[in-house]
A and B are shown apart, each in its own frame.
Chain A
């Protein structure tokens, strides 16, 4: 009952960043004050018309918003069921939804007088989006990246350097995204006075999950206007991939109270859920505390964080934003998973039928839509949030086909 009421007039998180039992501020004492300062600045600016119009201007002229919705007609006809529509976040500047958030946070950093920004990155998309806005606003930028990912994503590393950022390879732990996040936190603790930490997804301590959601919710707000206008109705379901969950949260948020719209998050099943080698905490993890919030995590029986696997580096994370944990428990959103093979197949199918090459992350959402559509009638509208473009994944896709570029 309590959950139902909360969703009637959705107003989460609460003042301390809780979504039910999830979220919160689980950080070392040194950061408590910095997070409180950030929360206050953000609370003030999110209601400030000058700030909001500055943000709108940047999203329009720099990012290229609004992004179109596109009817994937040949794909839909091939599948012979529901209509598949795509929200084209792949057309944004830098090629993914990540920039919606980095523009917002960089403007916030500037208002707070911080001249140095840091970021963590896995695939390098958030790192590139952060380095990009740092160049745009004249800020120093340091990006932490697991040394394994530095090897796997060499071209994005070079992109960041071209943009003037310093890329620091992280050698600790599993040398991937979660360790990059740890290292960014360590930098922030050390340089807390002059540094702004741009977190790349709806995770981390409050206010990050709320703030990153708000900045990405431009996607859902556009959809609410575009869908009736161009499709003649709101979607029957919105399907988005979930790594940390920012593109999904951005699309879902303006629809949470509109319960006629199914919200479906697609996690990375890697080699398959039963293999244990995946990145699907909502589908098969347990609640715990990591990176400043309580949420579903991939972990062993001792509470050690498990190593994850996904063909898409951007989904290769053992946690998930706390708001998704809440949406799952409350039943408002459904969470499913697509494995590496299904994502690759979706990648090739979308590329061949529509001439749109999705990011491997987004391909997970496409894969689930392809599974769902044939079981549905032609008047059903599925909206897939196509969170990014696949140029960055050329090497990975080629390697999966046994080709070396």
Chain B
């Protein structure tokens, strides 16, 4: 069983919801990223989504754009991201890591090289924003052969017929984009999420994570009641952006701890 499936199984038996923080690899630098990751796990993260910096992050709002730019200024590319994962794995062999990013860095490395290197580094899943299932059959099958999950997005605009298509290709979990917009937007509509999740369940037999626009414990809890996992991205990246280097780990952890508590409160 993959680390991701095992994680969801354990959470289910504990009657808990998954908390998935997102951070950009290399923001503010590679060294700190692996320290932040360990801090997030200690604070109660179940899975970590690690952003691969890209020069043209079309689906991201200003916060994650700036974060990506900071990482690129450090010269952090896909190979460096894999190194960060390797370093993290030296002391954490259980927390699943999902790489989240855009197609071109993977195109540049080549599919089989990427699948191989990601497996060696200890990556568990891959989510590529601009590879919808139709365009990613080859990558998905390479990842599968290397034991990696392919995570796909579902959106408010996804028709039910298409959910079957996504279900055929996806593994690990699916990621429901809770709003029409980019990461960090503030127009999350809970009633729309409540309406959509049962539709997705009818077509997709995988855990459902929800992300985009979740900024506090209260919203996280409300979303978790409808789904299996919540993703905290821009709000966490803001924390990292605003903290002095010596406080980054503490501030990132504090935010995730607060959300963990909100999720677990009886």
- A interface residues (Cβ-Cβ under 8 A, vs B): 16, 24-34, 172-173, 178-179, 182, 185-186, 189-193, 286-292, 294, 297, 299, 301-305
Contacts and interface: CB of A to CB of B under 8 A. Distances in A.
Contacts of A173: 55-56, 65, 69
A179 B134 CA distance: 26
Interface residues of B, number: 42
B177 interface: yes
Ranked 9 nearest A-B pairs via Cβ:
A303-B108, A302-B77, A303-B105, A289-B103, A30-B155, A29-B153, A190-B181, A33-B157, A303-B104
A189 B109 contact: no
A185 B61 CA distance: 11
Contact of A25 (B65, B135, B158): B135
B158 A32 contact: yes
Contacts of A289: 102-104, 107, 130
A189 B56 contact: no
A181 B102 CA distance: 16
Interface in B72-127: 72, 77-79, 102-109
29 contacts: A25-B134, A28-B129, A28-B153, A28-B155, A29-B153, A30-B59, A30-B155, A30-B156, A30-B177, A30-B180, A32-B157, A33-B162, A172-B62, A172-B65, A173-B55, A173-B65, A182-B57, A185-B58, A190-B182, A190-B185, A286-B108, A288-B103, A288-B107, A289-B107, A290-B56, A302-B78, A302-B108, A304-B72, A305-B104
A33 B182 CA distance: 16
A261 B185 CA distance: 51
Contact of B181 (A29, A189, A301, A304): A189
Contact of A303 (B109, B132, B157, B185): B109
B154 interface: yes
B152 interface: yes
A290 B106 CA distance: 12
B107 A24 contact: no
Interface in B10-64: 54-59, 61-62
Contacts of B152: 29
B177 to A, nearest CB: 6
Tell which of A26, A185, A290, A301 has the most Cβ of chain B within 10 Å: A26
B135 A182 contact: no
Contacts of A33: 155, 157-159, 162
Contacts of B79: 302
Contact of B58 (A16, A28, A192, A303): A28
Contact of B104 (A179, A189, A297): A297
Nearest to A28: B59
A25 B132 contact: yes
B105 to A, nearest CB: 4
B134 A302 contact: no
A5 to B, nearest CB: 24
A172 B180 CA distance: 21
Contacts of B159: 33
Tell which of B104, B153, B156 has the most Cβ of chain A within 10 Å: B104
Given A32-B155, A172-B69, 12 more contacts: A27-B132, A29-B154, A29-B158, A30-B153, A32-B162, A173-B56, A182-B58, A189-B182, A191-B180, A289-B103, A290-B56, A305-B56
A299 B104 contact: yes
B129 to A, nearest CB: 5
B55 A305 contact: yes
A302 B105 contact: yes
A292 B135 CA distance: 11
Contact of B180 (A192, A290, A301): A192
Contacts of A34: 157
